[in-house]
Amino acid sequence: MSPAIALLLYGSAVATLGPRVLRGLTHRGSAPRLGAIAWAVAIGAALTAWVVAAIMLTTEFATYWGHPKEALRVCFAILWVPIHVRGGAAGQAISFAVAALVATATFALVARAVGVGMSMGRRTRAHARAVRLVGRRVPGVGAVVLDSPERQAYCLPGRPDIIVVTSAALAALTTEQLAAVLAHERAHLSGRHAPMTAALSAIATALPGLRLMTVGAAEITRLLEMCADDRAAEAHGSLPLLGGLLAIVGIAEPAPPGALAVAGTAVLARAERLVDPVGAVRRATTCTALVGVIAIMVTGLALAAATFVVAARCC
């Protein structure tokens, strides 16, 4: 079996089995940081395998399209035997068509993902500029206050980063609850969660039919919210954070693109987690299982990288 086909099958296996295995291990939020890493590794492993396979097929397409040299044939013979070496005219046509299709599809998907990411970035920056213009600073509040009847609190990455609290949320929160909510948003900013979720959203939009991408993007966002909850609860306690979540839950308007809202994702699951924390034994068991899954996927990634390096050096 050629390495290109093996990589395609490996990526497909991760994309098919990954969501089932990882959702079972991360749905409770026992180890949110490690769970988010596991989802990210699964997405990265599948994409890396597919991209490396696409590069091989695209190179084959370019080699055939141009004037193939014997040196290139020898180079890629180490990795695979192209179809058109042994086949006749039909084999050449199939090889050429498959390589051309893979090259075109890969370029289209990458272009779409980059376009979605750039569009989200522009909208996030535009909203941040608007907030700076119309928002106001209130003494004792470490955030920009935006006059609005909607109870919202969210952060926007940028230069500088911004935490936004609406006037309605400010009126609904106690001093302790506000401190916990702001600590939650600061944890998002210090952890650079927003760029990660934006990139995952772009990938999920470009590949809407793949559950690993769509479910993975949603699960990582949920787990990062739990990570921020843990940071805020460590500093201010679980009860003030829980009260803050419940005080601003049920907003009618979603947070702007690129923003992470404290009460915008999986509030019920997070509230249950704050009320009934996961025990040490279950956390240790989950961590062990996640480390094993990550090790398996990293091994596949290493093999994909080694395959690509061998091909590059040979050429």
Rounded mean pLDDT, 186-193: 93
Q: Which two tokens stand for residue 57?
A: 């097929």
Q: Is the pLDDT of residue 291 over 50?
A: yes
Q: Which helix (H) or strand (E) holds 154?
A: strand 153-156
Q: Supply the pLDDT for residue 96.
A: 61
Q: Which two tokens stand for residue 131?
A: 């907030």
Rounded mean pLDDT, 302-315: 67
**Are the beta carbons of 24 and 285 closer than 8 angstroms?**
no
State the pLDDT confidence band at 208, using cuts at 50, 70 and 90: confident
Query: Which of 35-39, 81-85, 112-116, 163-167 has the least mean pLDDT?
Result: 81-85
Neighbours of 233 (CB within 10 A): 20
Q: Is the pLDDT of residue 190 over 50?
A: yes
Q: Supply the pLDDT for residue 102.
A: 66
State the pLDDT confidence band at 2, using cuts at 50, 70 and 90: low
Distance CA 11, CA 5 (A): 10
Average pLDDT, the chain: 82
Question: Which one is predicted more confidently, 232 or 311?
Answer: 232
Going across the sheet that includes 260-261, the strands are 136-137, 144-146, 162-166, 153-156, 260-261
Among the listed residues 16, 15, 40, the one whose alpha carbon sits nearest the alpha carbon of residue 26:
40
**Are the beta carbons of 247 and 180 closer than 8 angstroms?**
no
Q: Supply the pLDDT for residue 79.
A: 45
Neighbours of 107 (CB within 10 A): 12
Q: Supply the pLDDT for residue 185.
A: 94
Rounded mean pLDDT, 135-160: 88
Question: Which one is predicted more confidently, 70 or 172?
Answer: 172
Per residue in 67-97, pLDDT tens?
445 444 544 554 444 444 444 555 556 656 6
**What 3-state class would DSSP assign to 153?**
strand
Q: Supply the pLDDT for residue 88.
A: 52
Q: Supply the pLDDT for residue 86.
A: 47
Q: Is the pLDDT of residue 18 over 80?
A: yes
Per-position DSSP letters for 210-276, written without gaps between them: -HHHHHHHHHHHHHHHHHHHHHHHHHH-HHHHHHHHHHH-S-SSPPPTT-EETTSS-HHHHHHHHHS
Question: Which one is predicted more confidently, 7 or 4?
Answer: 7
**Are the beta carbons of 205 and 112 closer than 8 angstroms?**
yes
Rounded mean pLDDT, 288-300: 92
Q: Is the pLDDT of residue 1 over 50?
A: no
Query: Which of 136-145, 165-174, 250-259 has the least mean pLDDT?
Result: 250-259
Q: Supply the pLDDT for residue 147.
A: 92
Rounded mean pLDDT, 208-217: 92
**Are the beta carbons of 144 and 131 closer than 8 angstroms?**
yes
